[in-house]
Amino acid sequence: MKPFLKTTLMASLIGLSAPAFAGLAYVSNEKDNTLSVIDTETHEVVETIEVGKRPRGILLSKDYTRLYICASDDDTVQVLDLATRKIVDTLPSGEDPEQFALHPNNKHLYIANEDDAIVTVVDVTNKDVLAQIDVGIEPEGMAVSPNGKWAVNTSETTSMLHWINTETFKIEKNIVVGQRPRHVEFTNDSRIAWASAEIGGTVHIIDVDSLEQIHEMSFKVPGVNQDRVQPVGIELTSDGKYAFVALGPSNHVAVVDARTYEVLDYLLVGARVWQLDLDKDEKYLYTTNGVSGDVSVIDVEDLKVIKSIKVGRYPWGVVIDPSS
User: Site residues (CB under 8 A) for other proteins?
Assistant: 75, 92, 94-96, 113-118, 120, 123, 126-138, 156-160, 162, 169-174, 176, 179-180, 198-201, 225, 227-228, 249
Give 13 or 130: the residue with its C-beta nearer to other proteins. 130
Q: Least distance from C-beta 117 to other proteins, angstroms?
A: 6
CB 178 within 8 A of CB 200: yes
Residues contacting residue 167 through CB under 8 Å, at least 6 positions apart: none
Q: Least distance from C-beta 279 to other proteins, angstroms?
A: 30
Give 224 or 303: the residue with its C-beta nearer to other proteins. 224
Contacts 24+ apart (CB under 8 A), 114-118: 114/72, 114/138, 114/139, 114/140, 117/155, 118/94
Q: Which residues pair with 93 in a beta bridge?
A: none
CB 255 within 8 A of CB 266: yes
Give 160 or 255: the residue with its C-beta nearer to other proteins. 160
CB 59 within 8 A of CB 102: yes
Give 67 or 118: the residue with its C-beta nearer to other proteins. 118
Q: Least distance from C-beta 201 to other proteins, angstroms?
A: 7
Separation between Cα atoms, residue 242 and residue 166, nearest integer Å: 28
80 C-beta neighbours (distance < 10 Å), count: 21
Q: Least distance from C-beta 159 to other proteins, angstroms?
A: 7
CB 154 within 8 A of CB 160: yes
Give 158 or 292: the residue with its C-beta nearer to other proteins. 158
Give 40 or 166: the residue with its C-beta nearer to other proteins. 166
DSSP 217-262: EE---TTS-GGG-----EEE-TTS-EEEEE-BTT-EEEEEETTT--
Three-state SS for 272-286 is CEEEEEECCCCCEEE
Q: Least distance from C-beta 211 to other proteins, angstroms?
A: 10
Q: Least distance from C-beta 241 to other proteins, angstroms?
A: 31
Longest dimension (CA), the chain: 71
Q: Least distance from C-beta 89 to other proteins, angstroms?
A: 13
Give 106 or 165: the residue with its C-beta nearer to other proteins. 165
